Amino acid sequence: MNKDHPEVKFGKTGVLLINLGTPDSTSWWDIRKYLKEFLSDRRVIEVNPFIWQIILNLFILTFRPSKTAHAYKKIWRKETNESPLLFFTRSQAVKLKNKIGNEKLIVDFAMRYGNPSIKTRLSKLKEIGCENIVVLPLYPQYAAATTATVCDEVYRSLMKMRWQPSLQIIPHYESEPLYIDALTNSIEKKIKEIKWKPDLIISSYHGIPKSYFDKGDPYHCYCHKTTRLIKEKFNKVEIQTTFQSRFGPQEWLKPYTDKTFESLPKEGIKNLLVICPGFASDCVETLEEINIQGRESFLRSGGKNFDLIPCLNDNPDHIQLFEKLVKRYLI
């Protein structure tokens, strides 16, 4: 090579796992920074951006960070000073790397909001010679507010590269047999651990506004498909789909998880298991919203026993699923 030619690294393939995101700490300012980025995404909040920015900056970002910080403090990993989502996503990337990684295949992770950002991790992969990149958004059920906004940010990052890598994006995996098997195994494992028999299993997914569904978002259908496939493998206990984490006054997908928790004891359901198939890692929505708030609500309403089935996290069968998905898209 000509000595005046800039050094060019090439010949490698990158795999990038991408999850939603996390604040850097539980401080008010870090929470506010994270919420501002998240709630400014027009895929997440589909209202007039001018009006929304006024509402967001004058009201929501003034009052909500304190409430959100309180929730994160309950589930923050003090031993590593990070959120469970960051801990498990990093562990997933490390374990996947140990299964399939080599000097030519690089595995890393990023967050849609917060750190490490998609832009920095894509730039890093490109700098070390990745000519091909496979992106795995860690959202089993596609939605515009999750998978699509990951794609948007990936494309924005590539737009600034002079020499772009080839790109493969894994769009969804709600019905992958290994995914359904892993979820079923997690249910079976939890039932063996507890000393009571569940009357019902709630399969709780993150909600979206009903208007997004009316516009053609397939998310609702994918969630019900996942639950149906779990029920085909596991029929010892009835399983019901609900939707959690609604935000704002508009109608979201129903039935609502929190309202269901309140009503079930009155219907004779006293022993409840909950699984959250749409979350690839345990996070504030599972550990605080469901396992703390949801548990308290169910027991206060007359329930007797409540337990949360952990997300698939960095379990071996989850990593095996990732391996199969990624290998399908490798060039």
222-227 average pLDDT score:
98
How far, in whole angstroms, is CA 51 from its chain's centroid?
Answer: 28
Question: What digits encode the pLDDT tens for the residues 256-273?
Answer: 999 999 999 999 999 999
Hey, how many other C-beta atoms are within 10 angstroms of the C-beta on 300? Answer: 11
Report the Cα–Cα distance between both ends of the chain, in Å, rounded: 27
Helix 28-39, helix 61-75: angle, nearest 10: 110
Confirm if 237 and 273 have CB atoms less than 8 A apart: yes
Pair of tokens at residue 72: 């994160």
Question: What digits encode the pLDDT tens for the residues 133-167?
Answer: 999 999 999 999 999 999 999 999 999 999 999 99
Q: Where are the beta strands (DSSP E) in the chain?
A: 12-22, 105-114, 130-137, 166-169, 200-206, 239-244, 271-275, 305-308
What fold characterizes domain 12-172+317-329? Rossmann fold (3.40.50)
Question: What digits encode the pLDDT tens for the residues 153-204?
Answer: 999 999 999 999 999 999 999 999 999 999 999 999 999 999 999 999 999 9
Q: Compute the C-alpha angle 222/225/227, nearest 5°.
A: 115
Domain boundaries along the sequence of the chain: 12-172+317-329, 177-308
How far, in whole angstroms, is CA 302 from its chain's centroid?
Answer: 31
Q: Given this model, what pLDDT does residue 7 score? A: 81
pLDDT above 70: residue 111: yes
* pTM for this entry: 0.96
CATH topology identical between 12-172+317-329 and 177-308: yes
Helix 219-233, helix 177-193: angle, nearest 10: 60
- 142 closest CA partner among 85, 45, 221, 40: 221
The structural architecture, per CATH, of the domain 177-308 is 3-Layer(aba) Sandwich (3.40)
Task: Report the alpha-carbon distance of residue 184 to residue 209 in Å, rounded.
Answer: 28
